[in-house]
Structure 1
């Protein structure tokens, strides 16, 4: 959009958003722009008049703060947003999150909006873009929309590049779990453990019985375990981004936690530390035999995929072991707050899912007990092969 006719000093440009941008040539001979935009042309004229007065008085200073009036294009704007983004915990984005955002930007947003000016974004363009993304990629589509939504929110609220957010599709940023994750039974868990190499058997047990994330369990070190006191300290996690190993804080503030090691696992932890854990307090419990570094997910998966078939659970993933532990804890009677602490979750949503699963299991057992009472005297209880006697008489 061309500049408006020059006033006695400087020029004013009306942006696609309807706001006005002021610019002028300073005493240094360089072109300068105001570090903010204006609601009306009159406001911009007043700003230029003030700048001219400063020049005449000899007190003018060039704008030193970054200017947002350059009318940035969508891709560089979002890229800058990603780099400067601060989480709710007042921390920079986690490396894996940052890499994921950049992938979404490059794959889904840039091909359509890469050369579009931010102030030119509008709801119709966003709606068309969203409708043309592959429906089979529901999670990626929701994540891409969420990224655009958040970046445009900043463009509206902080940088004043837009009057309103162009992302207005209800529910477009929400994702649903594609498939249900069925936890492993205790018997299946044991079959999987026995089918793994001895040095990796404890990975399976800790992932399940302590409900650890993969990045948490593979960053465990000798100093984090105290099996004699039944304590396990989780205060770090490891991720791999573009082949680089990055050790940092757990996924959330709640992720830093002290866990009770189930007593039946204590002998296994002691034996593993004696036979397989690297030497020294910082020795890794689980490490790559070739690299000596934290165990890679692909290395575990190579063995795990064989073991899960031995247990008749081809659908199970290593992360599914965490769901197994959460379900077992819920069935053991853990409250919502106890589950949150156990899982390292800062919200109640995940904990409630497992509590609901536990309640459903309790209702099923109660229903079966009533069926026993109304039918046969003996039945197999919950498939564990043990008979439950039903006494029909009253005492």
Structure 2
């Protein structure tokens, strides 16, 4: 008979058998190493009872609610697999709401004026990056993986097929966050000249040339370099709270205000479900008076 598995041994096996994106795998390894293994690692799977889980949960840092939620969710997932493997009789993770993450901070989209200041304050070679993140609602990792051949100025589209992430200080190019993330996004006509200018002056002629490389023109742009310039640009716009990722929220909000439906937002943003796009629909609520006025204008127009 095989010796009973410890949580440590089983978690290693669990990770090895999963097809995870490098960044996700790195995150899981960190949670297991820092928050699950110290108490649960040496324990036999079958000895991890609901009481043990509650004790472990109580010892997690109360000032890190997101870490607690993610650690609990990971433990529950591992133990669910152990249950399916018939290594335990039931899942001991029974803390109500244990995996619920804290409510995300309220994101205030950049105004058009703030966005203009940010673009002007960035180095020439990074201005189109801000424009694509904002007006096309692309993730920064998607933009940083773009090549010349991914952008078609003639049709006014950008093809999103790759995403860049940094794992252990090394650049990893993979697929977008989900299958829905692979998409073609229409570029708003008013920023096409800036995108074309970037291609003409900042990008080498090769089809595989990165749109936003590092200083050597070949390697991937270092996050520290991008964020150094970003911090100065957002300060110039009076928005020290604005993150690069918030440009995506800004673009999604503007698309909602332009009248995009939930399905259209889902497709443009590369979300796997309509629910993920719901958060941007609140932006359309502020247009209710405009809609009411437009309805009255229709009523006053002959033929309506």
Q: Identify the TM-score tier after normalising by the shorter chain.
A: over 0.9
The answer as to whether partners of 1:228 and 1:266 remain within 8 angstroms in 2 is no
Q: After the TM superposition, which parts of structure 1 deviate over 3 Å for at least 4 consecutive aligned residues?
A: 363-367
Aligned match for 1:80, one of 13, 24, 38: 13
Q: Which residue in the other structure is 2:299 paired with? A: none
- Aligned positions of 1:19-34 closer than 5 A: 33=1
In 1, Cα distance between equivalents of 2:283 and 2:56: 38
The answer as to whether partners of 1:224 and 1:234 remain within 8 angstroms in 2 is yes
Q: Give ranges in structure 1 of 5+ residues lacking alignment.
A: 1-32, 34-68, 86-91, 370-395
Aligned match for 1:247, one of 173, 193, 196: 173
How far did 1:291 drift?
7.1
Equivalenced residues, count: 293
In 2, Cα distance between equivalents of 1:239 and 1:349: 25
Q: Which residue in the other structure is 1:106 paired with? A: 33
Are 1:147 and 2:74 an aligned pair? yes
- What SS does structure 1 have at the residue aligned with 2:166? strand
- What SS does structure 2 have at the residue aligned with 1:245? strand
Larger radius of gyration: 1
In 2, Cα distance between equivalents of 1:220 and 1:121: 47
In 2, Cα distance between equivalents of 1:317 and 1:249: 23
- What SS does structure 2 have at the residue aligned with 1:318? coil
The answer as to whether partners of 2:119 and 2:233 remain within 8 angstroms in 1 is yes
Cα separation, partners in 2 of 1:320 and 1:103, compared to 1, 3 Å:
same
- What SS does structure 1 have at the residue aligned with 2:214? coil
Q: Which residue in the other structure is 1:172 paired with? A: 98
In 2, Cα distance between equivalents of 1:193 and 1:286: 15
Normalising by structure 2, we get a TM-score of 0.93
Normalising by structure 1, we get a TM-score of 0.72
Q: Which residue in the other structure is 1:70 paired with? A: 3
Between Structure 1 and Structure 2, which shows a larger proportion of helix residues? 2
The answer as to whether partners of 2:164 and 2:171 remain within 8 angstroms in 1 is yes
Q: Which residue in the other structure is 1:268 paired with? A: 194
In 2, Cα distance between equivalents of 1:121 and 1:190: 56
In 2, Cα distance between equivalents of 1:150 and 1:364: 47
Are 1:120 and 2:36 an aligned pair? no
Aligned match for 2:155, one of 222, 229, 248: 229
Out of 212-221 and 243-252, give the one that drifted further.
243-252
The answer as to whether partners of 1:75 and 1:110 remain within 8 angstroms in 2 is yes
- Superposed CA deviations along residues 258-280 of structure 1, whole A, max 9, x for unmatched, are 11111011111111001111330
In 1, Cα distance between equivalents of 2:56 and 2:129: 43
How far did 1:350 drift?
2.1
Aligned-pair RMSD on alpha carbons? 1.5
